[in-house]
């Protein structure tokens, strides 16, 4: 207990050094050590979400289904937007609805997650990324459930998929990356600036129109010209949605375009920026929240 001169202390004698800006060393080891927490937090959110609701888990299916039906009627029948090739309009919309809903849910939930769990942040240590990470996993579960509707739709329209359906997991990972980047960014920003509570839903509302959900990305290129389409492709969801359509609808989707490359690059860029911004700010979460 009595103070000793620093000379007698050898850094290698200790398992852990707590120092300003020194958390980096343990970062990845801690992520691994707390891996079960990620699962537990996701499980908690799922287990709790439908308690005391009558419709229960079917809410996960109901929301995307109703949106799809309305879009099919409004855009397909009333506005007369074209589908891609011979795919039914409903399936074209739903193939995009899946990743879109996933993205929107993941962004909304993860953005609020740290503030909603502020008590944990100020009382326990664990890698902070677990909390928004768990929100993304919860959205992923919803996403997988919605796949059941897609399967039902395909049976209804007697629309048979090709071998490309097997590539869906890859695009699911891409969708996760596209959601995690902005998700982490918004999470970290919300801790400091609660303004993002209002900004996020607004951005998501607009996002539905600047993403090729109700129409194909081909339409943008045809109607608004090449140059505008490049700007349009800055949206990282363009490649995700095109990817899903390419995998589900089959041959008539052009996946390997410059536009999609731009969109892909943008997604990776936002992901890297999101992770690095989150890591830079997470150590002050407890002081700021």
Partner 1 sequence: MTPAVYVEDLSKRYLLGRSSPGQGGLRHALENLVTAPMRLFGGRKEERTTEFWALRGVGFEIAQGDVVGIIGRNGAGKSTLLKILSRITEPTTGRIGVKGRIASLLEVGTGFHPELTGRENIFLNGAILGMTQTEVRSKLDEIIAFAGIEKFLETPVKRYSSGMYVRLAFAVAAHLEPEILVIDEVLAVGDAEFQKKCLGKMKEVSKSGRTVLFVSHNLPAVSLLCDRGIYLRGGQVMASGEIGPVLSHYRDDFLVEDDATPDASHRRGTGAHRIVRLATETERLPARAPISFSLEIKQHRDEGPFHFAMHVRDEWDTEVFSVDTAYLESGLLQPGDRKLRIEVDSPWLFPGRYRIEAFLHIGGIVDHWPDACRFEIDGDVAKQGYSLDSAKNRAQTLASFRIKESAG
In the complex, the residues that contact partner 1 under the rule CB under 8 A are 1-4, 6, 9, 11, 13-23, 33-34, 36-37, 40-41, 44, 47-48, 51-52, 117, 119-126, 191-196, 283-284, 286-288
Stated as kind and residue range, the H or E segment containing 42 is helix 35-49
Give the count of beta carbons closer than 10 Å to the beta carbon of residue 68.
Answer: 24
Which residues have CB under 8 Å from 118's CB, separation 6+? 289
**176/147 Cα distance (integer angstroms):** 16
Q: Which residues contact 242 (CB under 8 A, 6 or more apart)?
A: 212, 217, 253, 254, 255, 260, 263
Q: Which tokens belong to 176?
A: 């996760």
Q: Which residues contact 34 (CB under 8 A, 6 or more apart)?
A: 126, 127, 130
Residue 118 CB, nearest distance to partner 1 (Å)? 11
180-252-245 Cα angle (round to 5): 20
Contact 214, 207 (CB under 8 A): no
Cβ–Cβ < 8 Å for 133, 162: no
Q: How many CB atoms neighbour CB 214 within 10 A?
A: 21
Non-local (6+) Cβ contacts of 225 within 8 A are none
d(CA 42, CA 283): 22
CB of 127 or CB of 181, closer to partner 1: 127
Provide the minimum distance between the beta carbon of 40 and partner 1 in the complex, in angstroms, as a whole number.
4
Which residue, 184 or 239, has its beta carbon nearer to partner 1? 184
22 vs 77 by CB, closer to partner 1: 22
Nearer Cβ to partner 1 (34/159): 34
Q: Find the shortest distance in angstroms from Cβ 205 to partner 1.
A: 19
Quick one: 30 or 252, whose CB is closer to partner 1? 30
* Shortest Å, Cβ 201 to partner 1: 16
Q: Cα 219 vs. chain centroid, distance in angstroms? A: 25
Q: Which is nearer to partner 1, 251 or 284 (CB)?
A: 284
- Shortest distance (Å) from residue 254 CB to partner 1: 40
**Nearer CB in complex with partner 1: 123/163:** 123
Nearest distance from residue 285's CB to partner 1, in Å? 9
- Nearest residue (CB) to partner 1, 43 versus 75: 43
Min dist CB 56 to partner 1, Å, is 14
- Report the sign of the C-alpha dihedral through residues 142, 248, 203, 181, in that order: positive
- Crossing angle of the two packed helices 130-156 and 168-192, in degrees rounded to 10: 140
Minimum Å gap between C-beta 209 and partner 1 is: 24
């Amino acid at each position: 207990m009595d103070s000793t001169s620093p000379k007698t202390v050898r850094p290698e004698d200790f398992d852990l050094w707590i120092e300003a800006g020194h958390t980096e060393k343990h970062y990845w080891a801690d992520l691994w050590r707390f891996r079960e927490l990620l699962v537990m937090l996701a499980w908690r959110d799922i287990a709790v979400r439908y308690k005391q609701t009558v419709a229960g888990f079917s809410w996960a299916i109901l929301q995307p289904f109703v949106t799809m039906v309305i879009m099919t009627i409004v855009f397909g029948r009333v506005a007369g937007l074209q589908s891609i090739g011979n795919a039914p309009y409903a399936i074209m919309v739903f193939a995009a609805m899946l990743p879109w809903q996933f993205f929107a849910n993941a962004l909304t939930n993860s953005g609020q997650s740290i503030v909603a769990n502020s008590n944990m942040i100020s009382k326990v240590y664990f890698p902070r990324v677990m909390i928004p990470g768990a929100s993304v996993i919860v959205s992923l579960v919803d996403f997988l459930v919605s796949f059941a509707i897609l399967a039902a739709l395909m049976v209804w329209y007697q629309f048979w998929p090709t071998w490309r359906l097997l590539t869906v997991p890859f695009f699911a990972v891409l969708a996760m990356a596209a959601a995690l980047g902005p998700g982490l960014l918004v999470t970290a920003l919300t801790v400091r600036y609660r303004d993002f509570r209002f900004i996020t839903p607004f951005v998501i509302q607009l996002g539905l129109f600047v993403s090729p959900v109700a129409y194909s990305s081909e339409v943008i290129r045809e109607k608004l010209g090449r140059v505008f389409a490049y700007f349009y492709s800055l949206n990282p969801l363009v490649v995700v949605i095109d990817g899903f359509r390419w995998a589900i609808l089959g041959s008539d989707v052009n996946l390997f375009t410059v536009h999609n490359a731009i969109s892909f690059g943008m997604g990776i860029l936002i992901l890297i920026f999101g992770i690095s911004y989150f890591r830079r700010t997470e150590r002050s979460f407890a002081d700021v929240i």
